[in-house]
Amino acid sequence: MRKFLIKVGLILTAAAGLFIWVRNDASVLAGAHPLGMVDRSGWVAANSHNPDVLNTLESANTGVLFVEIPWEKVEKNPGAFSWQFENDYGSVDLTQLFSRLQRHGIEPVAVLSGGPIYLSHLYPQQPVFRDQLLESLQRFAGAAAEQFGSDVQYWQIGTAINNKEAWGKVLFPLTDGALAEPDPILYSEMLRYAYSAIKEYDSRSTILMGELEFPADCAYHPSNYLQAVADQDAWYAFDIASLSLPTLASSPETATFDACGIMPSTFSGVPSADSVRAVAETLNGIGKKPLWVGNLQFSAPELVQEANTHSTIPEAIASDWLARASALLRAFGSADRVIWSLDPLNNTPGLLALQTYANLSTMISGRYAGSTLTDSTDAYALRFKGGGRVNLLAWYTQGGLNANAMMINGMEGYAPVAYSADSDSLKPKDGITLPVDDGGNIALMVSERPVLISGHPKDIKQTISQAVADSTAQASDGMKAKLSHWLQAQKAKAAIKVSDWAAKQQASLLDTLRVSLEKWIRKSLGLA
């Protein structure tokens, strides 16, 4: 036994060392933190000086927070950058904001948004000129990376890139409400320029493609847009793809938002998750990339209506739906991260939902390991494994607050404890211990309010071996990501070199043509 423990201890030490090396070297570990938030309104950015704001986000295990760097506000004149500006809620100091986020354990995602207001353009006839836009973007991205590189690892290039209004803000940055047809060819060039500028400062930086929406015009469907970027040989120029989902106007199991009907190879029966998975399959088919799903929020009137139906409060419905949507998108949608909209002034998310968010950040952080109720259409028990533990989220889609019996299998060797999804404590003493029968089954009462079940192996050998297996799997994903990012960085450098070479050859050719033309003119005029 002693030899076994020593051997396992050495393996654990090696695995831990490998895991730390991979993680610290800026690889994106799939499932390392499953949730995040986006400060779309800018309220958090303007109130980061208030310690209560960031303390609350830290307590909620926020993970990552998306923060916009509005191009039109930080570079009003070419090359003159000011990282302090005013928004609707007050003053924003990006340098202090990113530093404070890091001190609170929150990873900022810097979103380069908007367009260069100093470039000549006239709506709707003349957008900013392509070459000037690319040159300016490279300068903007490079300056931001140099300014914030010590605090920012994640960079998103653009917002809602297949949305006509958002794209209009890029090409006509001075015109409110400008519309422009999305252009994946031009965006691919922008992506390349921004990628090279940021990676030149720090090759370990992680680049997110601007989020894609599910539009009414299927020509700009995320799958089609991604293929267009790949056709432009710009696939190397981003590390993570992202989707922005519309406000969910019904329960997570029934919500739909893709009118184009592009579906995955296998169906889960959850429309929202199937639509996301179809995009994930496109990513994997072209060249595997992580997929983040963002900007999630619920319709306030729908929450009120659902609360009235179930004789509860809207905040409780929001809490339940946040848990169910997050687990479904992670499990069936193949989303590596689920990003929720943060709008404190509109109670989004509310206190109950924020507590649920904090619990899920811990409980579904591992890899999805299947559903234990594969034959059921109105019940879910989704299993996630990581850190030597198995965690499940279980609920019924019908019955309201009336609890019904549920039998979950595959728990042999584990000591499971159950909690409500919005429990204010996940300590074993504050949960309900669930007995496991001889067949490895547990039985409990479940309603539409999700139940978190966490189990650790009873046997110390199994605990250690499972922890090693989970750490090895995560480290393997990290090493693959690390290698992929390194190869992409080399390709980017090679692309720059090839571009420089091509420019030199073009200049040489033009010189040759100029000299030849000059000789022909002189000869024609009898001056030779």
H/E element, 243: strand 241-244
Report how far residue 377's alpha carbon sits from residue 518's, in angstroms, rounded to the nearest whole number: 80
Report how far residue 424's alpha carbon sits from residue 438's, in angstroms, rounded to the nearest whole number: 32
Please answer whether residues 66 and 39 qualify as being in contact, where contact means their C-beta atoms are separated by less than 8 angstroms.
yes
Q: Report CA torsion sign: 243, 249, 251, 256.
A: negative
Domain 35-364 CATH superfamily: Glycosidases (3.20.20.80)
The confidence score (pLDDT) of residue 62 equals 95
Main-chain dihedrals φ then ψ at residue 197, nearest 5 degrees: -70, -40
Successive 10-residue mean pLDDT values, the chain, 528 residues = 54 48 38 86 94 95 96 96 96 97 96 97 96 98 96 97 97 96 98 96 95 94 97 96 94 92 91 96 95 94 94 96 97 96 93 96 90 77 90 94 92 94 93 94 95 84 52 52 56 53 51 55 54
Q: Report CA torsion sign: 459, 464, 469, 473.
A: positive
Report how far residue 116's alpha carbon sits from residue 137's, in angstroms, rounded to the nearest whole number: 8
First and final C-alpha spacing in the chain: 97
Report how far residue 165's alpha carbon sits from residue 163's, in angstroms, rounded to the nearest whole number: 6
CA atoms within 13 A on the CB side of 503: 6
| Residue among 253, 226, 218 nearest 333 (CA) | 253
CATH code given to domain 379-458: 2.60.40
**95-112: per-residue pLDDT in tens?**
999 999 999 999 999 999
